[in-house]
Structure 1
């Protein structure tokens, strides 16, 4: 008679008893005896013996009310504390304006939209040294740059229009939105953009460092930020196209 048959015989010894009064002592004794024999035979077979005994025990106890499972002990967690963003370092400070800061007349609560030039450094482009920033200025004079437009080749002082900045659509929209802006080198008295057949006159101001450089921008109420221009022209004091 093998071990499984001996275990079954131990169970049959209790079959005539009511299900609620099974002789668990006999069953467990036989199970322990078989388990000890298995352990003597080797560690690998002992593991199989334990699995058989546990399976029988679960079947015998199936009619009992389910016992509550032990609850895991609570895990202590450290309270979350927001971390402050690091302050500006030497490499992340706002670039210093070159020349005067131009007030656009556009307000965002306690801030105002301003434009100013900053130094730029482009490898292999020694004639591009400045870029135009659309930024904001608070009441205490603090500047925040939102958009930088600059040439990527040639000369930043050649006559005519240079890089024009548009509010870029993206997953993180600019807030507040940046009006269309840029600069022109030459004796421009009037700068006009065209959109869907409409002509829109830009506001403008001359750069304090070079009167030939004209900063211009379009008011958002006349040209929605991000709207591409179909065309743009500059005219001199006589209305001639430059």
Structure 2
């Protein structure tokens, strides 16, 4: 319910803002939730800074969460979302083609949940040191560790899961789990419900919330809009 409300609010805000501000080529997503320690490094700059709820994210921004960190982001073209859990390091990239954004997410370590709207082949890809997950439209969890490998849990839809060492691929459908290891092993099994990570946003109570969207105005100054819902 909350995600639906946030999505409606977000698109309402876009209609209020100058289209050139929000849909300029490098602007690809916005943070809708931030908890704990979460930092962003804009476009591979040297310095990380605190990520705020409502921050508009750009191509090649890097996000890092601490021990208690969590953030949710939504892509501005199709409402696809990423929920990034604690101790994760992620880079988001996007290439605009007409009204769509071809998205590629690089995750060095950590855990995320991706809920992806219908895409054309290759429009949403998550890459780790061990694997590549290519998505058309689905809901899944992906955990990666450079030593232990990758665990992909598909909740709905289908994910093409490729081991980068061997090039071997499998299709992981809803209810199944794929395992990809640094030694090249790739396997699939029925999901054990106990292995599904907890989604922090689903445990929150239905209370009044605020969403402040930050953007850069024509004069280069930071501006914001506050929405209560």
So what's the TM-score if we normalise by structure 2? 0.27
Q: Counting helix residues as a fraction of each chain, which structure ranks higher?
A: 1
So what's the TM-score if we normalise by structure 1? 0.26
For the pair shown, which has the larger CA radius of gyration, 1 or 2?
A: 1
Higher relative contact order (CA 8 A, sep 6+): 2
Q: Counting strand residues as a fraction of each chain, which structure ranks higher?
A: 2
